[in-house]
Structure 1
Amino acid sequence: SKKEEIEQGFVSYETIKVLTRLCSDYKLLNEKQYEYTSKLLIEIGALLGGWYKPYK
Structure 2
Amino acid sequence: MLHIESTYDRWSADIFDGGGHLVATFTGSDCIDLTFLPTGTYFLRVRTKGGTAGTKLIKR
TM-score band, normalised by shorter chain: under 0.3
- TM-score of the two chains, using structure 1 as the length reference: 0.27
Higher helix share: 1
- TM-score of the two chains, using structure 2 as the length reference: 0.26
